[in-house]
Amino acid sequence: MTEKKSANAMWGGRFAAGPDAIMEAINASIGFDKRLASQDIAGSRAHAAMLAAQGIISDSDAEAIREGLLTVLSEIEAGEFTFSTALEDIHMNVEARLKEIVGEPAGRLHTARSRNDQVATDFRLWVRDQNDAAIEGIEALIGALLGQAETGADWVMPGFTHLQTAQPVTWGHHMMAYVEMLGRDLSRFRDARTRMNESPLGAAALAGTGFPIDRHATAAALGFDRPMANSLDAVSDRDFALDFLTAASICAMHLSRLSEELVIWSSAQFRFVTLSDRFSTGSSIMPQKKNPDAAELIRAKIGRILGSTVGLFTVMKGLPLAYAKDMQEDKEPVFDAADTLMLSLAAMTGMVSDMQANRDALAAAAGSGFATATDLADWLVREAGLPFRDAHHVTGALVALAESQGCDLAELALEDMKGVFDGISESVYDVLTVEASIASRQSYGGTAPIRVREQVALWRERLR
């Protein structure tokens, strides 16, 4: 009888028999939710202080709880805490150890609180911390990209569509494209933080509590802007985790795109960049190989993060209000996604900081593939007065002529050009160099070096 009672201490007298091993295994979450230990203890300390301030528990009990919780936290941080699967989760593990330390006052801690609002608070605090870490990681990567953009603000390279040479751009402009993408990622994480910064604590199981608690006090103590306004929503909401995962998925997609370019650019066929040895590996059989493994791994990480996002959406999509045990499946995917994103950001920041762009190879490629054909068409519109569609046709004919002669547009003889369209003059050669092309693209957001340097300066100011 004593054994049965002990096995079901957390559930009270409702159950006569203890859970068997299989049920214990599927029900327990301590294997992963122990990562919430510091957040759980912070929430409990805020709750205990509020209970005392409201006269719900005595000051002496609150002080004993506070000191006991600090002892538990120090044991966990020192690796001296023994986690028990039989106690299910981090909340019961902490509470059980607290009781061993302080005795009866530990039993008063759970007054006016449920594990439902407790876990919602812990998890929200943890995701908020990861959200802040992601913001810092993205800002560091933006800083590395700005360094590359500033160095190569006037370095010419080919711009691509369909991975075919399209028009000349600058290295700095290409780097700044990723700065803009990551800037939107910053805004998504910042927006998510604003939405998630409301406290579930005090919602209790689902309906609130009859005790005279002060939810605004606990919200403020934990750094929340306000308590959540509906107790049902407070315990059953996981939108904050989905917000984080969605932002993480989009950010990981951007990292994957940049990774793909680094893989291509570092190949022997392109040689646009050289990645440092710190972020490359060799081959077990081919001694000449230098593989961009870090970039390739980052390129693949979107699969894990997006998979976690889809997984949590699937868990939540059909749940009635309020709490259901399904929601225990919310943490592992978020934990994995957060770890994966932070590792990917750190690795990408290291790669971008260390990589060396090959200016000569970039310039050589920029002049190939008739990259200035659009500049020629624009010249025909501006100087010869042709409608753009006619100018497009003339330019196409000149490209075909250059192809047949095995030369670039700038190498065609003026007489040959006039044979296609008599209105072409000597001044056309002024627009057929890649340097002239990029210098002319001074529209807002364009690739001209002056625009690139302006954007670098603006972003440096934003990051301050």
Which residues are known to be catalytic? 162, 283
Q: What residue type is assigned to position 109 of the chain?
A: L
Q: SS3 of 423, please?
A: coil
**Location of structure tokens 């990645």:** 275
Distance CA 98, CA 70 (A): 10
Distance CA 336, CA 252 (A): 13
* Residue 399 in tokens: 């490209």
Q: Length of the chain, please?
A: 464
How do strand 156-161 and strand 164-170 relate by DSSP bridges? antiparallel
Distance CA 266, CA 133 (A): 30
Q: What residue type is assigned to position 18 of the chain?
A: G
- CA-only gyration radius of the chain, Å: 31
Contact 291, 224 (CB under 8 A): no
- Residue 268 CB partners (closer than 8 Å, separation 6+): none
- Count of CB atoms within 10 A of residue 270's CB? 15
* Residue 150 in tokens: 């500033």
DSSP at 433: S
Before 361, cis peptide (omega within 30)?
Answer: no
Distance CA 241, CA 200 (A): 14
What DSSP assignment string belongs to 184-225?
Answer: HHHHHHHHHHHHH-EE-TT-TTTT--SS---HHHHHHHTT-S
What DSSP assignment string belongs to 157-181?
Answer: EEEEETTEEEEEEEHHHHHHHHHHH
What DSSP assignment string belongs to 373-421?
Answer: HHHHHHHHHHHH---HHHHHHHHHHHHHHHHHHTS-GGGS-HHHHHHH-
Q: What residue type is assigned to position 285 of the chain?
A: I
Distance CA 35, CA 23 (A): 22
Q: What phi, psi does 447 have (nearest 5°)?
A: -90, -5
